[in-house]
């Protein structure tokens, strides 16, 4: 990585910020390798909201101002830091085993696949900040409100 990108990567990998509405947001530089192409450094924004306690949103800021957002389980991301997890569209695993410094996220949308590599430490810091808002295993979901929302949308 050239010096400019190295500086940008250090600048973006700061501590997670807890927002006023009980959210956590963390910008991190990741390496993205769309199917069959070279790796490129892109900014990813990890978001967590206490109102949706089981989910994590990761938005990738792609070239030409395009943004792609994936939503997946916070537990999947947390477990994927230490051992391979996932099925279907999302797979997460530590690169180099549990002691490795990077985590790999494989996304498989209908249009192809992409490999994302991210340093483990900033993701771990993000997850710790989410757990200060809502500890793992203590998530509460209003099932009645969820079902009502599903019926209204359907």
Residue-wise pLDDT tens digits, 59-97: 998 877 788 899 999 999 999 999 999 988 999 999 987
What does each C-alpha distance from 25 to 72, 133, 135 come to in angstroms?
15, 12, 17
5-40 exposure pattern, b = at least 16 Cβ within 10 A, e = fewer: eeeebeebbeebebeeeebbbbbbbbbbbbeeeeee
**CA-to-CA distance for 53 and 108, rounded, in angstroms?**
24
Contact in structure between 62 and 43 (CB atoms under 8 Å): no
Report field, pTM of the whole predicted structure over 0.85? no
CA 119 to chain centre: 12
| 138 — pLDDT class (breaks 50, 70, 90) | low
Of the ranges 58-62, 66-70, 130-134, 139-143, which one carries the lowest mean pLDDT score? 139-143
| 4 — pLDDT class (breaks 50, 70, 90) | very low
């Amino acid at each position: 990585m050239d010096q400019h990108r190295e500086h940008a990567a250090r600048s973006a990998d700061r501590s997670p910020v807890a927002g006023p509405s009980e959210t956590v947001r963390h910008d991190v530089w990741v390496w993205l390798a769309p199917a069959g192409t070279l790796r490129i450094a892109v900014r990813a924004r990890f978001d967590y909201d206490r109102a949706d306690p089981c989910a994590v949103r990761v938005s990738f800021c792609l070239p030409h101002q395009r943004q792609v957002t994936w939503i997946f389980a916070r537990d999947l991301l947390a477990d994927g830091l230490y051992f391979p997890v996932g099925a279907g569209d999302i797979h997460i695993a530590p690169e180099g085993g549990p002691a490795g410094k990077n985590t790999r996220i494989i996304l498989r949308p209908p249009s192809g696949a992409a490999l994302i590599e991210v340093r483990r430490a900033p993701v771990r810091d993000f997850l710790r900040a989410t757990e200060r808002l809502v500890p793992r295993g203590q998530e509460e979901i209003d099932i009645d409100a969820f079902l009502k929302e599903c019926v209204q949308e359907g």
